[in-house]
Amino acid sequence: MRKPVMAGNWKMYKTPAETCSFFQTFRPLVEAAEHCDIVICPPFVNLAAAVESARGTRIKIGAQNLYWAKEGAFTGEVSGPMILATGAAYVIIGHSERRQYFGETDETVLKRTLAALDAGLIPIVCVGERLEQREAGATETVLCQQCQKGILSLEPARFAKVVIAYEPVWAIGTGKTATPGMAAEAHGIIRREVRNRYGDESAREIRILYGGSVKPENTKALMAQPEIDGVLVGGASLDPVSFASIVNYHS
């Protein structure tokens, strides 16, 4: 059985004070949630406040990006060892907003993934097709290409540490959720590629999250799909009550 990962991506929202206030409400609401791993990914400037606020709980903290060099003259960038030193354990890589607005490519996704693994962080690597690619019937080709140029080029021991997030770009922040069936079909394609590259055991163990307008009302149906091993949630993770009900989707 794969343990679900319920992850929140706060994007560019919240200050350190707002982060602390979120955790005050959120912590007791998910105290009993042992069925899943819980991850919150705030902006860099809130990592320390989030780590401190989550201390003594099972909630883990992640960053939303990293740069592949360990240190150097790279103004504005943050490295894996720096993120690890805050007490964070995860990092989102290749989010579609990074691909769309900040020039992220499959090649840079791979570089960042390797840097995250080198630093001892768990990368949550995002893949997903744009609307025009889905409409042109190219979803499978796009997913296979993103996987092959990225995570599937990792050596097996390193690949085992990765979490994959399938995030159809047309569903992110738009209120349009992929139906559970559409999401499961895409997850099946990704898992098949993993099986072809690393074998049955890896395909059974790899966790693939769905992301794209996940809300308390649609989480149960998504999570009922055996292919879906958790969710990566943007907008609905900003409110502690809303994200807690996503975490506690089964109750």
Q: Could you tell me the smallest distance in angstroms from the CB atom of residue 175 to ligand PEP?
A: 8
Which of 97, 104, 167, 193 is the catalytic position? 167
11 or 60: whose CB is closer to ligand PEP?
Answer: 11
Which of 95, 104, 187, 227 is the catalytic position? 95
Q: Is 167 a catalytic residue?
A: yes
11 or 191: whose CB is closer to ligand PEP?
Answer: 11
39 or 110: whose CB is closer to ligand PEP?
Answer: 39
- Residue least distant from ligand PEP (Cβ): 234
Q: Residue 11: left if φ>0, alpha if ψ -120 to 50, beta else—which one?
A: left
**Binding residues for ligand PEP (CB under 6 A):** 9, 11, 167, 172-173, 211-214, 232-236
Q: Could you tell me the smallest distance in angstroms from the CB atom of residue 214 to ligand PEP?
A: 5
Using CA atoms, how far apart are residues 122 and 37, in angstroms rounded to an integer? 12
Q: Is 95 a catalytic residue?
A: yes
What b/e sequence results for 184-215 when a residue is b if at least 16 CB atoms lie within 10 Å of its CB, and e otherwise? bebbebbbebbeebbeeeebeebbbbbbbbbb
In 3D space, the residue among 131, 66, 56 whose CA is nearest the CA of residue 92 turns out to be 66
**Which tokens belong to 116?**
């995250």
Q: Could you tell me the smallest distance in angstroms from the CB atom of residue 68 to ligand PEP?
A: 21
104 or 198: whose CB is closer to ligand PEP?
Answer: 104
Q: Could you tell me the smallest distance in angstroms from the CB atom of residue 191 to ligand PEP?
A: 20
Active site residues: 95, 167
